[in-house]
């Protein structure tokens, strides 16, 4: 079957900034692909190239076999795009926004109304919400309407650029559910995100990019197995306890603990499972050290980065 997306050595520069430095990736139809990367990694540039909004400098990029540079019209008919910043008209109702988007897409009035109603339904927006002016919506609802607008053209492939950045935890989960149900109904999705947990919840495959290059790719399970570890995080009450806690956490089986002075935290990468947590709690207690909080968690994007690239995600120069 033709892949939904195929990028071969894709390149894009803005003056001296190399935004895409030879991206290679394939997204099979039926998969949700998450492109994960820190600020400036090239995520939006990649999505804009896919949606024919910018022309790559080199390499190949195809959507269901159609070349984005040579057949932009065919590509546009296959995709829906929800950009990084919600593009909705606040002085119109949710429904009016969607009908307008459908008319702009070239649908006749009747089909536009029909598809707008279907998109509202797909995102769980009811009659009352749909009739209200968007300016009275919460951020989460705006995002939903924006997402709904990308569906009125019945796309085969939906491109979502950081769909939940800036939303509160509940709105994020609601939007995740909406995206998941779209996928169940057969829409292919490529989404970009800065959050490992988001990629983890939604994607069947993750491509991690940094400085416009793919640094790792695989299923969430494969990537985690590659990192293969959890993180114990200890919040100390007093600044002067940072070093003693770090000393207690050091053991030949673990990597070196990291001290974050600003947040008074010591973090330690440990093998998955709760065994090490027990030992660490015991050691802290024996040493008589006071802590505010101890937790065991999955690695953050920063830590995944650190593990894969040997440097923290914030240290990238491309800003």
Ligand X SMILES: Nc1ncnc2c1ncn2[C@@H]1O[C@H](COP(=O)(O)OP(=O)(O)OP(=O)(O)O)[C@@H](O)[C@H]1O
Which chain residues interact with ligand X by CB under 6 A?
14, 17, 19, 37, 39-45, 84, 194, 318-319
Nearest distance in Å: CB 241, Mg ion: 39
Sequence-separated contacts (24+) of 123-131 with Cβ below 8 Å: 123/147, 123/148, 123/151, 123/178, 124/174, 124/178, 125/94, 129/94, 130/93, 130/94, 130/95, 131/93, 131/94, 131/95
Whether the CB-CB separation of 202 and 32 falls below 8 Å is answered with yes
Nearest distance in Å: CB 192, ligand X: 7
Nearest distance in Å: CB 208, ligand X: 12
Nearest distance in Å: CB 246, ligand X: 32
Nearest distance in Å: CB 82, ligand X: 14
Closer to ligand X at the Cβ: 163 or 257? 163
User: Based on the number of CB atoms within 10 Å of its own CB, is 173 exposed (0-12), middle (13-18) or buried (19 or more)?
Assistant: middle
- Contact flags string 80-99 toward Mg ion, x per CB under 5 A: ----x---------------
> Which range, of 44-52, 128-136, 138-146, 212-220, touches Mg ion by CB under 5 A?
44-52
Q: State which of residues 31, 44, 171, 194 lies at the interface with Mg ion (CB under 5 A).
A: 44
Nearest distance in Å: CB 43, Mg ion: 5
Residue 97 binds: one of Mg ion, ligand X, none (C-beta under 5 to 8 A by kind): none
Closer to ligand X at the Cβ: 43 or 142? 43
Task: Give the integer Cα–Cα distance in Å for 214 and 23.
Answer: 6
| 37-68 b/e (C-beta count within 10 Å ≥ 16 → b) | bbebbbbbbbbbbbbbebebeebebbbbebeb
Closer to ligand X at the Cβ: 83 or 257? 83
Distances (CA, A) of 268 to 136, 228, 245, 246, 303: 45, 13, 11, 9, 10
Nearest distance in Å: CB 313, ligand X: 11
> Which range, of 20-28, 77-85, 221-229, 284-292, touches Mg ion by CB under 5 A?
77-85
Residue 318 binds: one of ligand X, Mg ion, none (C-beta under 5 to 8 A by kind): ligand X
Nearest-CB residue for Mg ion: 44
Residue 93 binds: one of Mg ion, ligand X, none (C-beta under 5 to 8 A by kind): none
> Which of these, 125, 114, 190, lies nearest to 154 by C-alpha position?
114
Closer to Mg ion at the Cβ: 44 or 164? 44
Q: Does 164 bind Mg ion (CB under 5 A)?
A: no
Closer to ligand X at the Cβ: 19 or 246? 19
Closer to ligand X at the Cβ: 115 or 194? 194
Task: Give the integer Cα–Cα distance in Å for 167 and 213.
Answer: 28
Q: Beta 205-210 vs 5-14: how paired, if at all? A: unpaired
Instruction: Point out which residues bind Mg ion (CB under 5 A).
Output: 43-44, 84
């Amino acid at each position: 079957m033709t892949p939904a997306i195929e990028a071969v050595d894709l390149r894009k520069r803005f003056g001296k900034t190399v935004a895409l430095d030879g991206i290679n990736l394939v997204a099979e139809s039926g998969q949700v692909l998450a492109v994960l990367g820190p600020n400036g990694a090239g995520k939006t540039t990649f999505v804009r190239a896919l949606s024919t909004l910018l022309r790559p400098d080199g390499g190949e990029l195809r959507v269901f076999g159609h070349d984005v540079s040579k057949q932009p019209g065919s590509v546009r008919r296959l995709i829906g795009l929800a950009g990084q910043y919600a593009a909705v008209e606040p002085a119109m109702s949710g429904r009016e926004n969607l009908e307008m988007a459908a008319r702009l897409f070239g649908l006749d009035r009747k089909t536009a109304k029909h598809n707008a109603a279907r998109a509202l339904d797909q995102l769980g927006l009811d009659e009352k919400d749909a009739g209200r002016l968007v300016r009275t919506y919460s951020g989460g609802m705006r995002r939903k309407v924006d997402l709904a607008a990308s569906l009125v053209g019945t796309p085969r492939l939906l491109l979502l650029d950081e769909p939940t950045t800036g939303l509160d935890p509940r709105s994020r989960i609601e939007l995740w559910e909406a995206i998941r149900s779209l996928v169940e109904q057969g829409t292919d999705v490529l989404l970009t995100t800065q959050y490992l947990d988001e990629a983890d919840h939604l994607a069947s495959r993750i491509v991690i990019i940094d400085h416009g290059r793919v640094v790792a790719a695989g299923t969430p399970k494969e990537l985690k197995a590659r990192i293969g570890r959890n993180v114990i995080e200890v919040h100390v009450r007093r600044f002067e306890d940072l070093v003693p806690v770090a000393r207690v956490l050091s053991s030949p089986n673990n990597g070196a603990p990291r001290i974050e002075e600003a947040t008074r935290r010591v973090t330690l990468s440990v093998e998955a499972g709760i065994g090490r947590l027990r030992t660490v709690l015991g050691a802290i207690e024996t040493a008589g050290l006071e802590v505010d909080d101890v937790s065991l968690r999955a690695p953050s994007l920063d830590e995944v980065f650190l593990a894969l690239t040997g440097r923290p995600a914030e240290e990238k120069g491309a800003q």
